[in-house]
Amino acid sequence: MAAVVGHLRLQDFPDHYQPVYDFIRHPMPPAIAVSVYIVGVYFLVKTYFLEREVVGRAHKKFQAHGNKLPVAIHGVGSVVEMAVGCAAVCNPDSELLAKAAAYLALFVNVPSGAVLTSRVFGIKHLTVAGFAKFGVLRTMEAYRVLYVDYRLVPNLWILLQVGTVVRLLGWFVLPYSSSDGTRGDLFTEPAIYSFNILLSGYLVAAFVYPPELLLISLSLYATTQLFWPPRMSVRLRPKAA
């Protein structure tokens, strides 16, 4: 606990913690930023064009609730912020680009994501809490870009990459298709999808926040489980190969 308190200086909010990387003194190498951007674009193309039937099935719930517009706003906003954020990271002296990325996060992506959060599928105390936590963190990082130092924009942009990691794990690491079902039916199977969200969030956050804060953040999921206790059927769970 002392180590956690040492990392937090709440009286200095929003400059209240020391990120893992000091991007103010040592900007992110442009080659790394561009490589991450290319990977992100690849997974967007794969998700929304090459595998659009799988994603279409996953989005039926949003369509049923009349949430197609927030989904579209969030998707387009994320694509634009990914590009603007990459440009800002590659040009660390550009205050304009950095603040543009922060405003996109604050006024487009975080609000549209908040509209969708309560209706995400999966195990609620993991998925709803996970998306809500990232909304808060992205808001805080955007605020730090605007009011602490615009050169902190790589941290905001790194958190945006959680979608890329979700797709990477969903396509290539976690089980994707069942042995007797349709292609991609395990991509959004509740337990697998929820684990994907949890793991992706921590993998990405580990590039921004120190490990002590990541560990203590697990208390969020323990708390939300009191409000959304899991309701899973043992008879319907998939069998491990």
pLDDT band at 139 (very low <50, low <70, confident <90, very high): very high
Statement: residue 214 has pLDDT above 80: yes
Q: For residues 175-194, give the mean pLDDT.
A: 84
13 φ, ψ (degrees, to nearest 5): -50, 135
Task: Give the integer Cα–Cα distance in Å for 185 and 182.
Answer: 6
CA distances from 58 to 24, 187, 201 (A): 40, 9, 20
17 φ, ψ (degrees, to nearest 5): -150, 160
- 153: CB partners within 8 A, 6+ apart: 23, 85, 88, 89, 97, 98, 101, 102, 145
The alpha carbon torsion through 23, 24, 26, 29 (nearest 10 deg) reads 50
What value does the CA radius of gyration of the chain take, rounded to a whole number of Å? 18
Task: Give the integer Cα–Cα distance in Å for 84 and 106.
Answer: 14
- 106: CB partners within 8 A, 6+ apart: 139, 142, 143
Statement: residue 2 has pLDDT above 50: no
Q: Is 22 helix (H, G, I), strand (E, B) or coil?
A: coil
Q: What is the mean pLDDT of the chain?
A: 86
pLDDT band at 7 (very low <50, low <70, confident <90, very high): low
Task: Give the integer Cα–Cα distance in Å for 207 and 210.
Answer: 8
Statement: residue 192 has pLDDT above 80: yes
Is residue 64 within 8 A of residue 91, CB to CB? The reply is no
Statement: residue 138 has pLDDT above 90: yes
The DSSP bridge partners found for residue 8 are 17
